[in-house]
Chain A
């Protein structure tokens, strides 16, 4: 089961937007609307930011949005703030293992 493909890094200035891509296959991202995104600060547990492609859990700012087209998903963080600097991981349900598959993570830097 191959990991989803994410860029290793992304950056933006405060107030700007950054978009992180997540590419899979028809067996995961393209086959199901079960893409989720997680934010992880150093030394902390991951936090769910987006589930089912574009839904935000209660308490997650609407600056975070998700989308999907074909075998690729993306997370956009608008109005970047200093506290958004973190690692971001995408995940998709996979029919191959019934568990899911994560991307390798993208480190977002706020310049």
Chain B
């Protein structure tokens, strides 16, 4: 059974940093593109970033480009999202998702990031 489990969310002040992690199991992690999708409170879904299976190719939403960095550790089946210079508008539930056929096929339960003073 495919499982992805996010961690690392919490309350952070504007301008601060946070690192999210996603532990994957139940599939060959190193063979799949992985992604982060976020959902602000009461709002819709937004792709944040994706990373190729090898980690050699990454893409970011314009809203986070230059501030967020996606990375992966294929040896330990783990995906990360380093978030710097956080803003109030980054407040959201962040989901880790396995990506295939340009769709998010398997989702974690999400981790809440709150940016507030």
- A-side interface residues toward B, CB under 8 Å? 1, 3, 32, 34, 36, 38, 45-48, 51-52, 55, 57, 89, 91, 93, 97-105
Contacts and interface: CB of A to CB of B under 8 A. Distances in A.
Interface of B: 35, 37, 44-47, 49-50, 59-62, 95, 100-110
Contacts of A91: 45, 103-104
Contacts of B50: 98-99
A36 B102 contact: yes
Please indicate which of the listed interface residues A3, A48, A55, A102 has the most CB atoms of chain B within 10 Å of its own CB.
A48
Chain B interface mostly: strand
Contacts, number: 66
Nearest to B63: A1
B46 A34 contact: no
B54 to A, nearest CB: 16
Contacts of B95: 45-46
A34 B103 contact: yes
Contacts of B61: 97, 99
B45 A93 contact: no
Given A34-B102, A46-B95, A1 B62 contact: yes
24 contacts: A1-B62, A32-B102, A34-B102, A36-B102, A36-B103, A36-B104, A45-B109, A46-B37, A46-B45, A48-B103, A51-B103, A55-B101, A89-B45, A97-B47, A97-B59, A98-B50, A99-B35, A99-B47, A99-B50, A99-B61, A100-B102, A102-B44, A103-B44, A104-B44
A104 B40 CA distance: 12
B102 to A, nearest CB: 4
A38 to B, nearest CB: 7
B104 A46 contact: yes
B105 A51 contact: yes
Contact of A102 (B46, B101, B105, B110): B46
A33 B103 CA distance: 11
Given A45-B107, A45-B109, A102-B47, A34 B101 contact: yes
Nearest 3 interchain pairs by C-beta: A36-B103, A99-B47, A34-B102
